[in-house]
Amino acid sequence: MHIKRSKMPMTWPLPRKGKKTKFLAVPSHSFNNGISLLFVLRDMLGIVKNRKEARYMVLQKLIKVNNKVRMDENFPLRVLDVVTIGNENLNYKLEIVNKKFKLREISEKEAGIKIVKISGKKVLGKNKIQMNLDDGQNFLTKEKFSVGDSVIVNTKENKLEKIIPLKEGVIIEVTLGKHAGKRGKLVGFENLPREKNYIVKIEDREVPLPYKAILAVENGK
């Protein structure tokens, strides 16, 4: 599936007007907060010229996302996902800088972990709790956690490393909206009729943000 360049989300790092490519590939899902592997390989890294070359790379198992081989050039990358290219183990993390997606080259060690929001929990039996993550992963754990907390996942060993509670004092990364890509400290909450906002101090301002726009990334000091 493709969209016109003029209709692409504001986070995509390309000019909205241009003669080179009128239509752009969209991810198979997570359209509003992700970009496709094809977009990454062709439009951001420039290591392939077209979909055919990108498809060849994924079918040859040369592309990993969070240390898992992906064989679909439309597979979406979301903020803080890591893509590994080829046998050289070149690793890039997807971040938001100045409201735009940007790839940052990282070390192999950094490429082995990922911070993910906890989106749900399910009690399966005595001392059996299933942790559901925002990226679709599930883990059985005995650790105490709440929906909205974050977890550091070791993607090489597929195990949980640490839980980061969503509570006052925690460091927040903003993932959506005009403050996307910025970090701040969670300092309070604002109760609304049907939900609540999270008050995050960014630089010298306190900004109310919705649940979907925040990710706990570091315990406060």
Please write the tens of the pLDDT for every residue from 119-174: 999 988 777 899 999 988 999 998 899 999 999 999 999 999 999 999 999 999 99
- Residue 163 covered by a domain: no
Give the CATH number of the domain where residue 150 resides. Answer: 2.40.50.740
Tokens of 154: 């070791």
Question: Residue 16's pLDDT is what?
Answer: 52
User: Can you say how many angstroms the Cα of residue 15 is from the centroid of all Cα atoms in its chain?
Assistant: 22
Tokens of 58: 């994924």
pLDDT over 70 (residue 8)? no
User: Residues 24-48: pLDDT tens digits?
Assistant: 555 444 445 678 899 899 888 999 9
- Residue 164 covered by a domain: no
Do 103 and 117 lie in one domain? The reply is no
User: Residues 195-220: pLDDT tens digits?
Assistant: 899 999 999 999 999 999 999 999 87
Do 119 and 97 lie in one domain? The reply is no
As a whole number of angstroms, the distance between CA 190 and CA 37 comes to 38
Question: Which carries the bigger pLDDT value, residue 34 or residue 20?
Answer: 34
Give the CATH number of the domain where residue 74 resides. Answer: 3.10.290.10
Contact (CB, 8 A) for 35 and 41: no
As a whole number of angstroms, the distance between CA 109 and CA 151 comes to 17
Question: Residue 10's pLDDT is what?
Answer: 54
Question: Which carries the bigger pLDDT value, residue 87 or residue 33?
Answer: 87
As a whole number of angstroms, the distance between CA 206 and CA 149 comes to 21
Question: Residue 31's pLDDT is what?
Answer: 45
Do 8 and 104 lie in one domain? The reply is yes
Contact (CB, 8 A) for 183 and 171: yes
- Residue 143 covered by a domain: yes
Sole residue written with tokens 């929001």: 117
Q: What is the 3-state secondary structure (H, E, C) of 53-118?
A: HHHHHHHCCCEEECCEECCCCCCEEECCCEEEECCCCEEEEEEEECCEEEEEEECCCHHHEEEEEE
Number of domains composing the chain: 3
User: Residues 47-79: pLDDT tens digits?
Assistant: 999 989 999 999 999 999 999 999 999 999 988
Give the CATH number of the domain where residue 179 resides. Answer: 2.30.30
Do 26 and 93 lie in one domain? The reply is yes
Question: Residue 56's pLDDT is what?
Answer: 94
What is the domain extent for residue 140?
Answer: 113-155
Residues 42, 69, 33, 221, Cα dihedral to 10°: -120
Could you tell me the pLDDT band of residue 22, with boundaries at 50, 70 and 90?
Answer: low
Could you tell me the pLDDT band of residue 193, with boundaries at 50, 70 and 90?
Answer: confident
For the segment 180-199, the average pLDDT, to the nearest whole number, is: 91
Question: Residue 17's pLDDT is what?
Answer: 58
pLDDT over 60 (residue 21)? no
pLDDT over 90 (residue 6)? no
